[in-house]
Structure 1
Amino acid sequence: MTDRKHELAANLAKVEERIAAACAAAGRPREDVTLIVVTKTYPADDVRILSELGVRHVAENRDQDAAPKAAACSDLPLSWHFVGQLQTNKVRSVVGYADVVQSVDRARLVTALSKEA
């Protein structure tokens, strides 16, 4: 295992432990919670490693970072999420790769997303 893969695996294990503990405290099954890994500022190579480690949901908050990263990882079994404020002029691009837009803050954006979907 590479140093980077080992580092990501260790960090992912810590997050999984925290999720499991929170689920136990809330009396919820772990399977009811979806881990969405936000990969902003990290390269597509890290997304590939995370996919190897079992991550299936990844997110970005900037289209200019997300679009090339999603393209570089299009062969992986990932669900892409767009998080944060989405500008209307970026809708066409985001619809091209994102499976989920996590927040919609204005009616005009709903219309634009509906038109492009």
Structure 2
Amino acid sequence: MFGIVLWSDPARCKAVIWCEDHRGLAYVDGGCGNSADTSLQKCPLDSGDLVEFELSADISFRRALNPRRVAAEPCPTLVHRLLEAHEAQEAEQPPLRVVPDTPNAIRLPRRETSRDAKAQQPPRGRKVVPFA
């Protein structure tokens, strides 16, 4: 699989990769000699690097094994552009207001649940004539 490095720490042999399948991020944890995967020590990765790697995934975690740099920084501004897009999106959202619960406050109708419907049923044996 291919991906772009979003963050790396060569001193700790760690990196975060945005994968080409646009699913969850993949994590590199070289272990710095504590495990068999010490490939990050051999090839330190920088933010924006295009890498190829083997993906090991379980239910909640995706690990990038044997990452290999394909191109150094083909997207050097990607991280900054993603941060700017996130900040712009947050700025577009209107701020939320807290409305105090006062007697004059407008109350929205409550959505009916199955329990509410059962409570509103007439007692058995009585006929209810609806208003026209």
- Give TM class, smaller chain: under 0.3
Which is strand-richer, 1 or 2? 2
Which is helix-richer, 1 or 2? 1
Greater C-alpha radius of gyration: 2
Give the TM-score normalised by the residue count of structure 2. Answer: 0.19
Give the TM-score normalised by the residue count of structure 1. Answer: 0.20
